A and B are shown apart, each in its own frame.
Chain A
């Protein structure tokens, strides 16, 4: 059985209240951290090997160490705009254990010297935002937030900022623009948010799961945390399994299990005991894997070696009742809808890929269009300010490459069906125009 940290007894009644959280030893780590030197906290975070849990997997301690020292206004932003299709781990954490996130944010804010913190939560999470707001109010009441946190002379102001429904606001610079009250268009990097982020000040942005993990790392010690999982993918990770599995939901695992262990072990296997057609290992933005890849080790570097990525840890399983064409159309049209329109390759590329895929779906394309899709995807990748375009191009290109025979079969079948239908229509329709010859022949 793998170690549980973040999910340990998460359904304890009343855990979202300060009383119960305190009874479980909550905020003790915040007190301990505030007594430590900032450098040693950042070093502890580096030693733990914690990698950003939002999708990019960037080492958290390293990111914190990029925040410049000095007496300028610095900000901490929690990215709770969990919009990656298939991902729903942060929702569970915020709803059931909001104080753990607040404690992690107190520690992170202290480590980088930020005195203003925002939780950017997606607007759809209405109930979760209310729970968080109540938890923050409780913490403020108890002197854990606000001026002079825990009597240590540190100020920390924290607010929940609700978004209004845009996938792009999960991208860190898009999120900053949305938080500044603008359209959520990503910015050119560099400068990175660590130097010039929110209101042009140094800003540390981390995912909910990353920040929630901090108190647990301090509790068990950075070395013990680094000892969990496998090398370079240390610690526990929350994974969200969804799609055609028997037990969809969130699971906490130590990285290093295989895909088969997760899908057939934790999630109980495929509904109606079907076969896996394909699976997304890290949200809908990750290149797909097939049933031959089920034994791939589920960890950052191992998945990268298999040509895909761990991303946000969202596994979507598609069984063999479904057509890969439909999955590709769904994926592409999502990114088409969510593209902010700032960069041309993404705006036009997602739109044209969707159109081409829809033509394949209804049988109005040729196999050559598959090559056009691959070429369009190639031209999107790496050519935009953010990775939204890449996030469409990678899974779609991988589907077209790995399932080319299925695409061609579908195309042939749909085309012949169309032809048969048109032919049948022609035969049942009365002749509309009778030519002079036809009239002549009747006499």
Chain B
């Protein structure tokens, strides 16, 4: 597939500069050229990516993509069943767009053109409509990313407690791992455990200096991240909320005190 390109602009020079810097720092970007490192092989554009660049000229003589023909698109049965389940929950089936795209992303790793086409085929919508939705939301990825999602909150409360340093340290550890999608994220709603991170939806914090290497290892191995610092195990900070009896029962059930992070009474 060949498409016409615009002359290189500032963004291209910026990319070239950043690539050169990353290579000088010893980063290997070989995985970008190695199609075998991806589970799915998608036709590539001339510039090496699998998605058309937003600066790429489009073909004005071509009609926009229509709702895909079910006979032409192969949709995995599980994905189809899941999307149809979502569609059945709402009075208007279009409401299922976000959950359906999220389901396709779980299968494909990102909202690739193939994933969008499959969703469009089941939901009877145009790929353009779904791409518009996917580009709006932060958690729907429109470029290829790693399968393990690591969000580090860098908003006010977390950055007051050193979140930017946590993100920088995690970048050093995991930045070059093609399996990890490491991002600084807006407020994740866990300022009580700042600085914190969400590892595939599991909230952990507060992350100290010594936790970072451990956490990076657990992310690489796919292990349970920092079990002693998971948010779901913490009791409420309001010490007057629970009676002593309930606090004790809760501690016996394995929850943590919000102040000293131990299982016992504060």
Binding site for B on A (CB under 8 A): 1-2, 4, 7-13, 73, 82-88, 90-92, 95-96, 116, 122-127, 159, 161-167, 178-184, 199, 240-244, 247-252, 266, 280, 284, 314, 316, 318-319, 322, 327, 330-331, 334, 337-338, 340
Question: In the assembled complex, which residues on chain A have CB atoms less than 8 Å from the CB atom of B258?
Answer: 247, 249
Least distance between B200 CB and chain A CB atoms (Å): 8
Chain B positions within 8 Å of A, measured between CB atoms, are 89-92, 94-99, 101-102, 132-133, 136-140, 151, 155-157, 159-161, 185-192, 194, 198, 200-203, 231-232, 235-238, 240-243, 246-247, 249-250, 252-253, 255, 258-259
CB distance from B181 to the nearest CB of A (A): 13
Kindly report which residue of chain A lies nearest to residue B234, judged by CB atoms.
Answer: A249
Contact A10:B139 (CB < 8 A) given known A124-B151, A248-B194: no
Chain B residue numbers with a CB within 8 Å of A73 are 91
Residues in A neighbouring B157, C-beta threshold 8 A: 85-86, 242-243, 248, 316
Q: Given A11-B236, A13-B250, A124-B151, answer yes or no on A183-B133 (Cβ-Cβ < 8 Å).
A: yes
Contacts of A251 on B, CB cut-off 8 Å?
Answer: 237-238
- Select one of B97, B136, B138, B160 contacting A322, CB under 8 A: B160
A-B contact pairs, 7 of them (CB 8 A): A88-B190, A164-B101, A164-B139, A165-B138, A181-B96, A182-B97, A247-B259
B136 pairs with A95, CB closer than 8 A: no
Within 8 Å by CB of B236, from A7, A161, A164, lies A7
* Contact between A11 and B235, CB atoms less than 8 A apart: yes
Task: Given A116-B91, A162-B102, A164-B102, decide whether A125 and B136 contact each other with a Cβ distance below 8 A.
Answer: no
In the bound complex, what is the Cα–Cα distance between A13 and B139 (angstroms)? 32
User: Are B186 and A243 in contact (CB-based, < 8 A)?
Assistant: no
Which of A4, A96, A183, A316 gathers the greatest number of chain B CB atoms within 10 Å?
Answer: A183
Complex: how many Å from CA A163 to CA B99? 8
- CB of A239, distance to nearest CB on chain B (Å): 9
Q: How far is the CA of A184 from the CA of B237 in the complex (A)?
A: 33
CA distance A102 to B250 in the complex (A): 23
CB distance from A75 to the nearest CB of B (A): 9
Q: Find chain A residues with CB under 8 A from B94 CB.
A: 180-182
Contacts of B203 in A (CB 8 A): 127
B236 and A84: CB pair below 8 A? no
Task: Check A181–B250 contact: CB distance below 8 A.
Answer: no
Q: Is the pair B138, A9 in contact by a Cβ cutoff of 8 Å?
A: no
Pick the contact of B95 from A87, A122, A181, A248 — CB < 8 Å?
Answer: A181
Contact B91 A181 (CB under 8 A): no
> Given A123-B139, A124-B139, are A248 and B98 neighbors across the interface (CB < 8 Å)?
no
Which B residues lie within 8 Å of A90 (CB)? 189
In the complex, are the beta carbons of B133 and A181 less than 8 A apart? Answer: yes
CA distance A183 to B136 in the complex (A): 6
Q: Are A249 and B238 in contact (CB under 8 A)?
A: yes
Q: Is the CB of B160 within 8 A of A126?
A: no
A321 to B186, CA, bound (A): 23
- Give the residues in chain B near A179, CB-CB below 8 Å: 95
Closest to B243 in A: A9
Nearest residue, chain B, Cβ from A91: B189
Known interface pairs A161-B99, A166-B136; A124-B237 also in contact (CB < 8 Å): no
Contacts of A116 in B (CB 8 A): 91
Q: Do B98 and A13 touch (CB < 8 A)?
A: no
Using Cβ atoms and an 8 Å threshold, which residues of chain B touch A166?
136-138
Cβ-defined partner of A88 (8 Å) among B96, B139, B192: B192
A127 to B232 alpha-carbon distance, docked (Å) = 8
Please, how many angstroms separate the alpha-carbon atoms of A199 and B90 in the complex? Answer: 10
A82-B189, A86-B191 are known contacts. Are A165 and B137 too (CB-CB below 8 A)? yes
What's the nearest-Cβ distance from chain A to residue B133, in Å? 6
Q: How far is the CB of A203 from chain B (nearest CB, A)?
A: 12
| Chain B residues in 8 Å Cβ range of A181 | 92, 94-98, 133
A238 to B97 Cα, complex, angstroms? 33
Given A85-B156, A242-B191: A95 touches B241 (CB 8 Å cut-off): no
With A10-B241, A183-B132 in contact, do A316 and B246 touch (Cβ < 8 Å)?
Answer: no
Contact B238 A95 (CB under 8 A): no
Contact of B187 with A12 in the complex, beta carbons under 8 Å: no
A249 touches B192 (CB 8 A): yes
- Contact (A164, B137) CB under 8 Å given A9-B246, A10-B236, A250-B236: yes
Inter-chain contact A91/B160, CB cutoff 8 Å? no
Task: State whether A164 touches B140 (Cβ < 8 A).
Answer: yes
Interface contact A199-B91, CB-CB below 8 Å: yes
